[in-house]
Chains A and B, each alone.
Chain A
Amino acid sequence: MTATVTETVTEQPVSTRRTTEGRRATIVGFVLLGLTAVVLWVFALGAASDATATFNLSLPNDRFQGLTWAFNARALSLVVAVVLAALGAQRLRRSQLGWTNTVLGIGLLLFVVSFLGWAAAGSSFSLVGMLRSTVISAVVITLGALTGLMCERAGVVNIGIEGQLLTSAFVATVLSSAFGTVAGVTGAMLAGALLGAVLAWLAIKFQVDQIIAGVVINIFALGLTSFLASRVLSEAQDLNAPARVPSFRLPLLADIPVLGPMFFDHTFFVYGMLLLAFGLHFAFFRTRWGLRARAVGEHPKAADTLGIDVYRVRYRNVILGGLIAGFGGAFLALAQIARFEEDMTGGIGFIGLAALIFGRWMPLGCLAAGLVFGFSGALAQKVAILGTGIPSEFMLMLPYVATVIVVAGVVGHARAPAADGQPYIKG
C-alpha cells in the first residue's frame, strides 16, 4: 500500500512539470523565431553583400600572434537565421522537450555572433579583447553576487553589498597607498566583514527588517566615504594614490589561444573570483558546512531541533560574505583605476544581487551571470567604438531585461531559499 501512495502522489507534480515545460518551450520557440526575423531583416539585409568582417583572436602580447577569423557577414547571418529558425520550429513542435534553456542559450549566442558580424562588417574587431574585458567587468558583479549568496543561502537578505563594496574600496585605497597592496586588500576585506557583522547583528540580534538594515548600511557607507574623500583625501593626495595591482600571466595556461588571454592573464582578483565560485559550489553542495548552511536558510527551526546553532551559522555566513565583498571592493580600487572616487561603485552591488537571482542562488550560476552581465558591458563599449548607431545604453540595459524575464519565471523557476529574509526566533 505504501508503494501505491508514493506513486500516485508523485504523479501529479511530474505531469504539471510537463505542462510548464511545454509552455516554456512554446515561449522559447517564439523568441527564437523573433530572433530569426531580426537576423534576416536587419543583420543579413543590412550588411553589404560582399562585406567581410574580421574578428581578431589574439592580443599583442600573446604567444600565438595573428589569429583571425574573417567571413562574409551576410552569409554568416543567413546561416545563423537558418539554424535559429530550425531550433525555434523544433521547440514549437514540442516533439522533444527538455534542454530548453540550453537551446535558448545557443540561440542567443548565435544571435550575438551574427550581430557582431553585422556591426564589424567591412572592418576588423578584437573579439578576444572584448572577451577579456568581459571577464574583468564580471569580477565585481560576481563577487557581489557571491556575497549575497553567502548571506541568502543562510537566510539573511543582504542589500548592503553596495555599501560594503564602497567602504572597502575606500579602505583599500588608503591602506594600499600608505602600507602597500597586501595591507590594502586585507584591510578592505576586514572592512567588508565588519559591515557584514553589523548587518548580521542588526538582523539577528535585534531582528531589524533586513531590507532596512541593508539600506542603512548603504547610506552610511556613501555618506562616510564621500565625507572622508572630500575632507581627507583631497588634503592628503598621497593617500589616494595606491599602486595598481599588476597582472600575473599563469605559465602555459596563458598561452592557450583565446582562453589564455581571456582568463589566465589577469590580476589575482580574477583568479580569486574563479576559485571562489568553484570552491563555494563544492562547499555548498558537497560538504557538511554547506548542508548546514542551506538547512538554516531553508528551514531554520528544523536545523535548530537537530542541534545546529542557527544564529552562529548566520553570523558566520554573513561575515564571510563581507570578506568576499571586501575583496571585490579592493578590486575596484586597486585593479581598475587605482584611486578612490566618490560613489565609485555606482550601483554595481545591486547588479550583483540581480546576478544572484539570474544565477538562481548557485555559486557557478553567479559566475555565469556575472560573465553574461560583464559581456553586455563589454559589448556596449565595443559597439560604441564601432559606431553602429545603436545607443550603448541600450546594450547595457539588456542583462536587466533578461533578469526580469528570469525572475518572472519564463526561463524556468528561480526559487530563493525558503527562509530568506526571515528572522529566526528561538523557541
Chain B
Amino acid sequence: MALELRGITKRFPGVLANDDVSLAVGSGEVLALLGENGAGKTTLMNILYGLYRPDEGSVVVDDRELDLASSRDAIAAGIGMVHQHFMLVPVFTVAENVILGQEPSGPLGVIKKDAARATVRDISERYRLHVDPDAVIEDLPVGVQQRVEIVKVLNREARYVIFDEPTAVLTPQEVEEFFAIVRGLQADGKGIIFITHKLGEALEVADRVAVMRAGRKVAEVTPGETSEAHLAELMVGRPVELVVPKDTSHPGATVLQVQDLVVRDDRGHRAVNGVTFEVRTGEIVGVAGVQGNGQTELIEAIMGLRPSLAGNVVLDGTDVTDYNPRQLHEARVSHIPEDRQESGLVLGFTVAENMVLNCYYEEPFSRVLVMDWDATNEAAQRLVKQYDVRTPGIEVPVSNLSGGNQQKVIVAREFDRDVRLVIASQPTRGIDVGSIEYIHGQIVAKRDAGAAVLVVSSELDEVTALADRILVLYHGKIAGEFPPDADITEIGLAMLGSGR
C-alpha cells in the first residue's frame, strides 16, 4: 500500500520545474518534502493532485497507475490535499465547505443539512479537531480553518494526505497541536506528505525526509542520520550560516517613538489598539505575532500609508504622524513593504526604473521636468553590482527576476543612502536561503551603521535571529516584550494572547 511518483518531469516555458523526480510514501508513514521556494515542490504536488499533467513519468497508487486529469480523479484515488492558501469559501459555514462537491442530497438536489452537520461532528470527534459545523469560515482563526481543511480531506476518505507548508501561518503552540493531529492521522494508517522549508519541523515529524533543489530530488534521508545544518546544505547546495552573525547591540538615542497608536483596518475594526514603543539607534526591534494581529496596519500607519485614529508617531522629536511617504523618505526613513509585488515594486517597470522609485524626482535622476536616464542607468548598474542582484540586465522588467532578487532590488533602493530608520516588513518572505542570508546581513549592517531598525515578521525564527528586543503583537496590542534569547514557549504564549 503506497503512493508513488515515478520519474516525474514537468516543463514550463523556459523552466524545468521537475526533473525526473521519484518519491514514495506508504500507509502510516510521514514523508517530509523539503526544499526552497521555487525548488519544484508545489509543482510536484499539483501533479499529484491532478492540477497539472506531467510531461513524463507516472503517478501510482497501490500498484495501480493513474491518469489524473483533474483533482476529481485525485480525490477518487484517495489523495487529499491541504493547500497552503486554504481552499475555503469565506462566507460559507464549516459544514457547507466540508460537503462542497460531495453533497449529501435528496430529490431535486436538496441538501441534507443535518447529515452534513453530523458528518462534520463525527470526523471532528474522531480525530479531535474541535470544529463547529455551523461556524462561518471568515469568523474563524487560521488554526481552526486549517482543521476545517483537514476535515474536508478526511470526509473524502483520503488515504494519502498532502500538507503544503501547513505551519506557515501557525503559532508555535498551534504547530504542536498540528503535529499531534498528524500523528493521529498516521496512527490511523494515512500516508502523509508534509511539504515545508522549515528544517526543524521536517526532523521532528517525519519518518523520512526528501530534499529537492532546482527541480530535482537531491537526497532522501531519515531524521536519525542527518542534522539541520546538513539538510540546509542539501537544500541550498552549499554550506549555509543558519545563525545571523552579529555583535551585541549598543542602543543610543531614541529615533522612533510610537505613542498610543490606534489604527483601523479596511473593515473598520481597530486593528492597532493603543500601541506604544520606541526604537533607538543601533538596535533592531522585532515585532512578532501571528499574521493579522495588526502588524500590517501598524506599519502602514507609521509609513503614512493609512490614517491613524489616535496617537502619535514621533521621529527624532518631530511629530510625523501626518507625514506622507515622500516626507518620510526625505526624513531618511527606509521601508521594505510586506508584499514586494503588491507595494514594493512596479512589476512591469524595469530594474533600473524600480531602483529610483523613491527618489526619481530628485537630482540627478530628474532635471526640472525631465528624467535623466543616463544618471538613472548608471546608478542602477552600480546598485545591481553592489547589492548582488542577479539579473540579465537593468533593462529587463523586474517581474522576470526571482523573488529573492526582486527583494534585493528593494533593499538596494531603500538602503543605498544614509538612513535614520529602517522599517522592514516580512523582509525575507518566500525567498531563497541565499538571499535571506544576504538581506539579514544588510539589515544588521544598517544597525551597526547607527540606524534604528524595526523588523516585522510572522516567522518567529526570523524575529529571534535578527532582533535585539522582541515585541509581540496580539489583537492590536503589545502582549509582551522579550530579550532575543527568551524561551520560545513564552513568546508563543504571548502570540496567543495568554502570556503575561
Contact = CB atoms under 8 A, between A and B. Distances in A.
Interface of A: 1-6, 8-10, 12-13, 16, 19-20, 286-289, 291-292, 294-295, 298-299, 301-309, 415, 418, 426-427
B173 A1 contact: yes
A2 B496 contact: no
B71 A1 contact: no
Given A1-B498, A8-B497, A16-B268, 9 more contacts: A2-B177, A6-B135, A288-B103, A303-B89, A304-B51, A306-B102, A307-B71, A307-B101, A426-B51
A288 B87 contact: no
B273 to A, nearest CB: 10
Nearest to B129: A2
30 contacts: A1-B496, A1-B498, A2-B144, A2-B177, A6-B135, A6-B140, A6-B141, A9-B141, A12-B269, A286-B110, A287-B109, A291-B100, A291-B103, A292-B100, A294-B92, A295-B92, A295-B100, A298-B90, A299-B90, A302-B87, A302-B100, A304-B71, A305-B51, A305-B71, A305-B83, A305-B87, A306-B75, A306-B101, A306-B102, A418-B91
B47 to A, nearest CB: 11
B96 A291 contact: yes
B475 A12 contact: yes
A150 B102 CA distance: 22
B139 A10 contact: yes
B103 A427 contact: no
A302 B144 contact: no
A287 B116 CA distance: 13
B52 interface: yes
Interface string B37-58: 0000000001001011000000
B105 interface: yes
A9 B140 contact: yes
Interface string B250-292: 0000000000000000011100000000000000000000000
Contacts of A308: 100-101
B72 interface: yes
Nearest to B49: A305
A402 to B, nearest CB: 23
A19 B105 CA distance: 40
B150 interface: no
A303 B139 contact: no
Contacts of B152: 306
A298 to B, nearest CB: 5
Contacts of A8: 475, 497
Interface of B: 46, 49, 51-52, 70-72, 75, 81, 83, 87-92, 96-97, 99-103, 105, 108-111, 130, 132, 135, 139-141, 143-144, 152, 173, 177, 267-269, 475, 496-498
A55 to B, nearest CB: 43
A291 to B, nearest CB: 6
Contacts of A9: 139-141
Nearest to A308: B101
Given A2-B144, A5-B144, A9-B140, A295 B89 contact: yes
A292 B109 CA distance: 11
Given A289-B109, A306-B71, A298 B89 contact: yes
B498 A4 contact: yes
A299 B87 CA distance: 8
A305 B91 contact: no
Given A286-B110, A418-B90, A13 B144 contact: no
A6 B109 contact: no
A8 B495 CA distance: 13
A299 B89 contact: yes
B105 A288 contact: yes
Contacts of B83: 305
A288 B109 CA distance: 5
Contacts of A3: 130
A83 to B, nearest CB: 33
A307 B96 contact: no
